[in-house]
Amino acid sequence: MGWVQASWIDQIITKTGRTVSRTPVTTTEDFKGEETLADGAAADITAVFLRKEQFINIDKHGELEEGDAYVIVADTQALLRNDKITVNSVVYRVGTVITFYGDTDNATAMYKYANLFMVS
């Protein structure tokens, strides 16, 4: 029997996670194709935060490039490319977000993980 989503969230994210701040970022493009990023309102979320030195690569398919840090959140938590994660006053920008699916049916989303790049 494999992990189920509730077990994963309870055992891994809730018990080993920490409070970090997530700032949603919206992206707009002008007629020239130039992007503009706009910050939304920050909110605290629970996440497993790993600095580069602590990360054990769980990416089997090479979809996640190396980052300065990594974050794992519940699948129900909004997390998008370009969002900001703040930990101990250090701001990171979210890179690639990947959803990991359960091993029993491969249809149930278990969690999301993403690489982070230090901004300041």
- What pLDDT, in 10s, does the model give residues 52-90? 765 555 555 555 678 899 999 988 899 999 999 999 999
Rg (CA), the chain: 15
Q: Give the domain ranges of the chain.
A: 5-28+37-118
In this prediction the pTM is: 0.81
Class of domain 5-28+37-118: mainly beta
Q: Which two tokens stand for residue 51?
A: 């600095």
